[in-house]
Amino acid sequence: MLTVYQYIDELGNLATATFRRGRLFHSEMNQPVVSALQALAAAVHGYGTDLTSKHVIYSNATIRTITAGSGIVQAESSWGTNQNYPG
């Protein structure tokens, strides 16, 4: 089972890998990936808010959660450009 800190670190890794993939030519359609990243960003924000309001995490973890959410939004922006293979 992941701790909250490990969860946030893994989200950062996922965001970085997804960002890099979006910047390269790829065969995946952009819109489904963008939609999934938007939903993930919203879920991370809600999860962080819930954990903070229940005093499960505090300011340092909250900052890490916001950073992970920001990384997901950056990954989303990399998929907003048309880098997939033609046809």
For 67-77, what is each residue's pLDDT tens digit?
Answer: 888 889 999 98
Token output for 26? 């790829």
Distances (CA, A) of 70 to 10, 12, 27, 32, 86: 14, 9, 25, 19, 30
State the Cα angle at 12 between 79 and 33, rounded to 5°: 25
- pLDDT by residue (tens digit) across 17-75? 999 999 888 888 889 999 999 999 898 888 888 888 888 777 777 777 778 888 899 99
Backbone angles phi, psi at 84, to 5 degrees: -80, 160
The reply to whether the predicted model has a pTM over 0.85 is no
> What type of residue sits at position 19?
F
